[in-house]
Amino acid sequence: MENASISNYKKLANQLAKVVNENKILMSRYKDCFRAYFIEHVKNESLKEMQDCLQLFHMIELHQDSNIKLECGTAHCIECYYFFSQDSYFNPSQFYCTCMKKITARYRFAIISNYERIQSLKKKCIVCNSIKDEMNFPALRSHKTCAVCYSCIEATYIYSKGVKNNCRCCFSTYDSDSEFAIRTLFEQKLTVNIIENFYLEHCDECKNIKDSRQFSIICQDKHNVCKECVDKRKVNRDENCFCGLELTILIN
């Protein structure tokens, strides 16, 4: 094909793929056909400008979302990139990422070694039995033997002030590390208002209701005060908490 028609073909293919992706159109009848054409295209033309088609390929192949930031600086599905980094698809002199960066031998090596690392970190969820990447298990840091995936955690997670959520495996409450990791994921789907409301608390010192994410614990009695109350000490060079105890934070 001539350059102009290749470029038009790419645009058309991507637009069709985008419609299929966005509307979740069932592809079962055309799956093998698309797959064969796409692979052939990539062999000759690389992944350059083919992000929507690659996304469709990704869905057809039922990849888990193990996005990883690659050398190009963009997070891509490591399974897609691993597939196209195999020798038979790879022409080192003209192989490009969807974001136009040349996939050099070093870049390719990074894809392959990251893939192997990610595969070796996969875990099986004890609740739903599916095998997922380690990053889908946000409570593992403190619950090392409780492999419960995020979807299963999310299904019973209660986002409400004062509620302590339990691990679905050992039934103990999450410590602050795991709780923070889970909550951060949970908040991705919430509105700013709901999140802000969740964090509103009284400052122990001035009693105003504020965003507790900006509070600091300042003494051994764990008095939790707002940023303005901390700043006031910086200005006055006051080294004590309002309760008289010495500060446990630096105010310089």
- Return the residue of 38, 68, 84, 143 that touches Zn ion, per CB under 5 A: 143
- Return the residue of 16, 99, 135, 217 that touches Zn ion, per CB under 5 A: 99
How many Å apart are CA 48 and CA 109, to the nearest integer? 19
Binding mask 66-95 for Zn ion (x = CB under 5 A): ------x-x--x-xx---------------
- Upper half-sphere CA count for residue 152 (Cβ side, 13 Å): 21
118 touches Zn ion by CB under 5 A: no
- Return the residue of 127, 185, 195, 247 that touches Zn ion, per CB under 5 A: 127
Q: What is the DSSP string of 75-117?
A: EEEHHHHHHHTSGGG--TTS-B-TTS-B--HHHHHHHHHHHHH
DSSP bridge partners of 67: 77
Cβ-contact 71, 112 below 8 angstroms: no
63 touches Zn ion by CB under 5 A: yes
Specify the residue for token string 């908040």.
Answer: 187
52 touches Zn ion by CB under 5 A: no
39 touches Zn ion by CB under 5 A: no
Min separation Cβ 37 and Zn ion, Å: 17
> Dihedral (C-alpha) 120, 76, 113, 149: value to the nearest 10 degrees?
-10
Q: Of the ranges 108-116, 155-163, 169-177, 190-198, which one interacts with Zn ion (CB under 5 A)? A: 169-177
- Return the residue of 170, 200, 209, 249 that touches Zn ion, per CB under 5 A: 170
How many Å apart are CA 172 and CA 165, to the nearest integer? 8
241: how many CB neighbours lie within 10 A of its CB? 23
**Contacting Zn ion within 183-242 (CB under 5 A):** 203, 205-206, 219, 221, 223, 225-226, 229, 241
Q: What is the DSSP string of 168-202?
A: TTT-PBP-HHHHHHHHHHHHTTS-HHHHHHHHEEE
58 touches Zn ion by CB under 5 A: yes
Min separation Cβ 83 and Zn ion, Å: 8
**Contacting Zn ion within 145-164 (CB under 5 A):** 146, 149, 152
56 touches Zn ion by CB under 5 A: no
How many Å apart are CA 164 and CA 144, to the nearest integer? 19
Q: Which residues here bind Zn ion, judged by CB under 5 A?
A: 58, 63, 72, 74, 77, 79-80, 97, 99, 125, 127-128, 143, 146, 149, 152, 167, 169-170, 203, 205-206, 219, 221, 223, 225-226, 229, 241, 243, 245
